[in-house]
Structure 1
Amino acid sequence: MDFTNLKAIYINCTLKSSPEQSHTEGLMNVSMEIMKKERVEVEYIRLADYKVAVGLLPDMTEKGAEKDDWPMLYEKIMAADILVIGTPIWLGEKSSEATKLIERLYGMSAKTNSKGQYIYYGKVGGCVITGNEDGIKHCAMGILYALQHLGFSIPPQADCGWIGEAGPGPSYMDEDSGGKENEFTNRNTTFMTYNLLHMAKMLKQNGGYPSYGNSRESWDDGTRWNFDNPEYR
């Protein structure tokens, strides 16, 4: 199987800036290493290392933000075939950085591609979750729903994660956590990674989705395909 023409971007939404250790990065590395061994071009970003303003405009300096690195990060996302969002769990939810990332993605979602489809059509999304409390499926549910709503394609089993026992205790990268040896986590991380690759490869080989029935620009021009509008009966 050849995945060499694919590019993936992993965005870690930890609350920690570099070089502080991120347990979420530790699990993301498992997936990234698989992709690198498959000769996929991989880029890793820690969102907290950048000045990403809160808001929905493409560039929030237009609304008074002193600096906004989002336009540069958006170009990196658009250059990739696969987006993987990593987040720790805080109070059972994805991090505030993950929420901000999704909001900024949403702010660009009205743009269209060369077929008139919404801009993220043809791109594939997944997520990696870590924490010390329950919430992997809850966080993945919110992230993956948001990505598909914006136009990303979500393959089967597009999430993976690790959590420790309830209450204070070791985190994924700690020696006594057992995280790196966890069969369930390792299997799900592997399956997620390859499912992302398979879907991205299929979409790229076929030039994304056909525009028949899903082009916003065609809809705005009056095309309705086989939709029967009662007003015109």
Structure 2
Amino acid sequence: MTLNCTLKRSPAESSSELLGSQVLLELLGHGVKGEMVRIVDHDVRFGVTTDEGDGDEWPKLREKVLAADILVIVTPIWLGQPSAVCKMVLERLDAELGETDDQGRLLTYGKVAGIGVVGNEDGAHHVTAELCQALSDVGFTIPAAGSTYWVGEAMQGVDFKDLDPTPDTTAGTTKTMARHLAHLAELLRETPYPPE
């Protein structure tokens, strides 16, 4: 499951969409099928519960997240930070701290998370660090080399979606991340975390 945290509604082109699609394609090579959801195309409410009511579409998206073994969050960089959409998703995932299975484990335990970051400014490592901490806090496991990114020259107008072909370094980190996500998800399916 890939959550695209672009600020652009469909059908606008999005660098986050492109990187997320590349991650899904690499995962498919490891037998992992998935889908991408562009969060801004849904009525997701601000809040820190599993359901904010009044037409909130997060509960439907949450079901998909919990049904998946792998979650990938892709975000653009804005002012050196993850997008506001990404931060809203992290706030909604915070509700998982209060949700456990019959053995006392968070419902997100045993699920693997990866991160994709794009932008034409510096900040990919900072954004990745923020997301790693947040996803780990709410129960996801991040593998070694669990992120991929591209950043262009600061204060320029070239976006990831404008590149052809994708730079080898980004393609390589995307391939590695997908391989590690699939491997770790399989290990955690076979040997889940112990009960509380």
* Residue aligning to 2:83: 95
Is the partner of 1:160 in helix, strand or coil? strand
Residue equivalent to 2:97? 109
Q: Displacement, 1:114?
A: 3.0
Matched, 1:48 2:35: no
User: What is the total number of aligned residue pairs between the two structures?
Assistant: 196
* CA positional deviation for 1:168: 2.2
- Deviations along 1:102-135, one digit per CA (max 9) or x if unpaired, are 0001023211023211221100011100000001
Q: Which amino acid aligns with 2:161?
A: M
Letter aligned with residue 159 of structure 2: S
RMSD of aligned Cα (Å): 1.2
Q: Runs in 1 of length 4+ with deviation above 6 angstroms?
A: none
Kindly indicate whether the alpha-carbon contact (under 8 Å) linking 2:9 and 2:41 is maintained by their aligned counterparts in 1.
yes
SS of match in other structure, 2:161? coil
Which residue of the partner structure matches residue 185 of structure 2? Answer: 200
Extract unaligned runs of 5+ from structure 1.
Answer: 1-8, 216-233
TM-score by length of 1: 0.81
Q: Which has the larger radius of gyration?
A: 1
Q: What residue is the counterpart of 1:126 in the other structure?
A: 114
3-state SS of the aligned residue for 2:34?
Answer: strand
- In structure 2, the residue matched to 1:187 is 172
Q: Where does residue 22 of structure 1 map in the other structure? A: 14
Residue identity matched to 2:180:
N
Partner SS, residue 119 of structure 1? coil
1:209 and 2:177 matched: no
Unaligned runs of 5+ in 2: none
Measured after TM superposition, the shift of residue 67 of structure 1 is 1.9
**SS state at 1:29 partner:** helix
1:6 corresponds in structure 2 to: none
Kept in 2, the 8 Å contact 1:124–1:196? The answer is yes
Contact 1:129 1:140 in 2 (8 A): yes
Question: CA offset at residue 181 of structure 1?
Answer: 3.4
Higher relative contact order (CA 8 A, sep 6+): 2
Q: Structure 2-normalised TM-score?
A: 0.96
CA distance in 2, matches of 1:12, 1:202: 26
Deviation at 1:24, TM superposition (A): 1.0
Quote the offset at 1:163 in angstroms. Answer: 0.9
Residues 165 and 151 (structure 1 numbering): CA distance in 2 closer, same or farther, change over 3 Å? same
* 1:159 counterpart = 2:147: yes
